[in-house]
């Protein structure tokens, strides 16, 4: 992007979740095909089923499809309640909710399933709906990025798995801010917990319709450094780069994928609180209450 184009970067007050879904998720694009395959492989590293968080879920549910069979409980979190509302619509089976069945078929094929028909896809979707128990507001700028009441922070464990795709680097054009976001997201994990991520590579802005949103212009080397600084175990780090050829239409032509465990032995009950109590008058925390999902 040129400097004149960079001056036109939009803020998230201009975010249109419905347009984003139509623009990026009408079909399984090359970036999502690579990401879903990587998540599927990374899930093979999960031991006993535990609690997982999808941080920066956006208005989407497709990354939950390969994750759900490997965990006993799923929480989803996003900065925008308008994004979470699209997730809730799908969870409730509302008419007009985005159709993720093509992604379900793609995931099942990637897992090697013989049956990828409508019944098999519906079964996987039911599993996702059964696993998701909370939709939470979040802001990676905070050291405790998940927002919840003080009563819920007491003795709360950290997560066994955190999945965060196209989130931290897609929320800022500032690399120092991006590194802080990565650190705050990774710290939601218990010792020995698994972090799985995907990021736009060498992208300064991505397109949603006519709007452009800033991206941190990172590469695999910078992501490696940020993850190590955030506390992952270097020997556990897997990292891949995939060319996806979407520069002209969406603003990027490659992505970077990574998975790593945090330092320390896995523990079922890390007792450091992972929710932050909304501070009086703090604007991002007053947008809407976190929503439990039945």
Quickly state the pLDDT bin for 271 (edges 50, 70, 90). very low
pLDDT surpasses 80 at 48: yes
* Model confidence pLDDT, tens digit, residues 234-247: 999 999 999 999 99
Quickly state the pLDDT bin for 209 (edges 50, 70, 90). confident
User: Which residues, including other chains, have CB under 8 Å from residue 237's CB and lie 6 or more apart?
Assistant: 224, 227, 228, 258, 259, 260
**C-beta atoms surrounding 44 within 10 Å:** 8
Quickly state the pLDDT bin for 96 (edges 50, 70, 90). very high
Query: How many domains would you assign to the chain?
Result: 1
Residues 159 and 181: their CA atoms lie apart, in Å, by 17
pLDDT surpasses 70 at 154: no
Neighbouring-strand partners of residue 147: 276
pLDDT surpasses 60 at 290: no
Reading the block at residue 278, the tokens are 């909304």
Mean pLDDT score across all residues of the chain: 88
Do 193 and 160 touch, CB atoms closer than 8 A?
yes
Strand 252-261's sheet: what is its strand order?
A: 238-246, 252-261, 189-200, 159-165, 51-55, 73-78, 132-137, 291-292
Quickly state the pLDDT bin for 285 (edges 50, 70, 90). very low
Q: Specify the pLDDT at position 275.
A: 37
- The domain that holds 137 is classified in CATH as 3.40.50.150
Least trusted range by pLDDT, from 21-25, 116-120, 152-156, 212-216: 152-156
Strands 159-165 and 51-55, by their bridges, are parallel
Q: Specify the pLDDT at position 1.
A: 38
Residues 43-67, mean pLDDT to the nearest whole number: 97
* Model confidence pLDDT, tens digit, residues 115-136: 999 999 999 999 999 999 999 9
Residue with more model confidence, 261 or 271: 261
Residues 129 and 94: their CA atoms lie apart, in Å, by 13
What's the farthest any 2 CA atoms get from each other in the chain?
Answer: 53
Query: Domain residues for 199?
Result: 3-292
Question: Does pTM surpass 0.95?
Answer: no
Residues 172 and 38: their CA atoms lie apart, in Å, by 24
**C-beta atoms surrounding 228 within 10 Å:** 14
DSSP state for residue 173 in the 8-state scheme: S
Q: Specify the pLDDT at position 172.
A: 97
């Amino acid at each position: 992007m040129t400097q004149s184009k960079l001056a036109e970067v939009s803020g998230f007050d201009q975010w249109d979740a419905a347009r984003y879904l139509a623009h990026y998720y009408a079909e399984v694009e090359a970036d999502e095909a690579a990401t879903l395959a990587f998540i599927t492989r990374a899930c093979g590293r999960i031991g006993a089923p535990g609690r997982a968080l999808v941080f920066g879920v956006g208005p989407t549910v497709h990354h939950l499809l390969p994750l759900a069979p490997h965990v006993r409980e799923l929480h989803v979190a996003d900065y925008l309640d308008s994004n979470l509302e699209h997730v809730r619509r799908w969870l409730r089976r509302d008419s007009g909710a985005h159709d993720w069945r093509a992604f379900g078929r793609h995931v099942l094929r990637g897992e090697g399933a013989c049956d990828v028909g409508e019944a098999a896809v519906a079964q996987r979707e039911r599993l996702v709906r059964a696993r998701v128990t909370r939709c939470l507001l979040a802001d990676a700028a905070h050291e405790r990025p998940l927002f919840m009441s003080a009563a819920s922070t007491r003795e709360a464990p950290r997560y066994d798995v955190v999945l965060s795709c196209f989130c931290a680097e897609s929320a800022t054009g500032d690399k120092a801010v991006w590194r802080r976001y990565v650190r705050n997201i990774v710290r939601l994990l218990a010792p020995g917990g698994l972090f799985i991520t995907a990021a736009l590579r060498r992208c300064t802005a991505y397109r949603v319709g006519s709007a452009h949103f800033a991206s941190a212009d990172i590469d695999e080397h910078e992501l490696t450094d940020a993850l190590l600084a955030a506390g992952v175990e270097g020997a556990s780090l897997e990292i891949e780069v995939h060319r996806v050829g979407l520069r002209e239409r969406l603003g990027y032509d490659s992505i970077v994928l990574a998975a790593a465990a945090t330092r320390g032995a896995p523990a079922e009950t890390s007792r450091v609180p992972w929710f932050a109590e909304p501070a009086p008058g703090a604007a991002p925390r007053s947008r809407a209450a976190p929503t439990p999902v039945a």
